[in-house]
Chain A
Amino acid sequence: MTFQSIETSSLAGSVEASPGATLLRRGGEIGQLAVSRYGVIFGFLAFWQVAATVGWVNPAIFPPLDAIFVALWKALASGRLVGDIAISLQRAGIAFGAAVVVGIPLGLFMGQIRSVERALDPILQLFRQTSALAIYPVFILFLGLGETSKVAVIFWATLFPLLLATIGGVKEVDGKLIEMARTFGASQLAVFRRIVLPASVPAIFVGLRLSATTALLLLIAAEMIGANKGLGFQVMNAQYNFQIPLMFGAIFLLAALGLTANYVLVSLQRRLCRWSDIAR
Chain B
Amino acid sequence: MSVVQNTRPTTRLGEVTVRDLSKSFALNGQRLAVLRDLQLEVRSGESLAIVGPSGCGKTTLLRVLAGLETPDQGEVLIDGLPVKGVGTERAIIFQEPRLLPWLTVLGNVAFGLEMRGKSKAQAELRARHYIRLVGLAEFEAAYPRQLSGGMAQRVGIARALTVQPEILLLDEPLGALDAMTKLTMQEELSRIWREEKVTMILVTHDLEEAIYLADRVLVLTKNGASVPRLIDINLARPRDRNESDFVAMRKRLMAEFGLH
Contact = CB atoms under 8 A, between A and B. Distances in A.
Nearest to A272: B102
A275 B92 CA distance: 25
A11 interface: no
Interface in A137-182: 176-177, 179-182
A201 to B, nearest CB: 8
B217 to A, nearest CB: 25
B112 interface: yes
A201 B111 CA distance: 19
Interface string B69-94: 00000000000000000111011101
B115 A184 contact: yes
A199 B102 CA distance: 8
The interface size bin for chain B is 20 to 34
Interface string A178-214: 0111111110001000110011010000000000000
B145 A275 contact: yes
The interface size bin for chain A is 20 to 34
Contacts, number: 58
Contact of B88 (A177, A185, A186): A185
Contact of B111 (A182, A184, A273, A275): A184
B143 interface: yes
Interface in B85-134: 86-88, 90-92, 94, 96, 98, 100-103, 111-113, 115-116
B163 interface: yes
Tell which of B87, B91, B101 has the most Cβ of chain A within 10 Å. B101
Contact of A194 (B98, B111, B113): B111
A275 B115 contact: no
A184 B100 contact: no
B102 A190 contact: no
Interface string A40-75: 000000000000000000000000000000000000
A190 B115 contact: yes
Tell which of A182, A184, A186, A279 has the most Cβ of chain B within 10 Å. A184
Interface in A262-280: 273, 275-276, 278-279
A195 B113 CA distance: 15
A177 B94 CA distance: 11
A278 to B, nearest CB: 5
A177 B143 CA distance: 16
B104 to A, nearest CB: 9
A276 B143 CA distance: 9
Nearest to B142: A278
Contacts of B103: 275
A198 B115 contact: no
A185 B100 contact: no
Contacts of B101: 275-276
Given A176-B98, A198-B100, A276-B101, A181 B145 contact: no
Given A176-B94, A275-B143, A279-B146, A184 B102 contact: no
B66 interface: yes
A198 B116 contact: no
A192 to B, nearest CB: 13
B68 A184 contact: no
A184 B88 CA distance: 7
B145 A183 contact: no
A179 B68 contact: yes
Given A183-B92, A198-B102, A278 B146 contact: yes
B214 to A, nearest CB: 22
Interface of A: 176-177, 179-186, 190, 194-195, 198-199, 201, 273, 275-276, 278-279
7 contacts: A179-B68, A181-B111, A194-B115, A198-B100, A198-B102, A201-B102, A278-B145
Nearest first, the 7 closest Cβ-Cβ pairs linking A and B are A184-B115, A184-B112, A275-B102, A180-B98, A186-B115, A279-B145, A198-B102
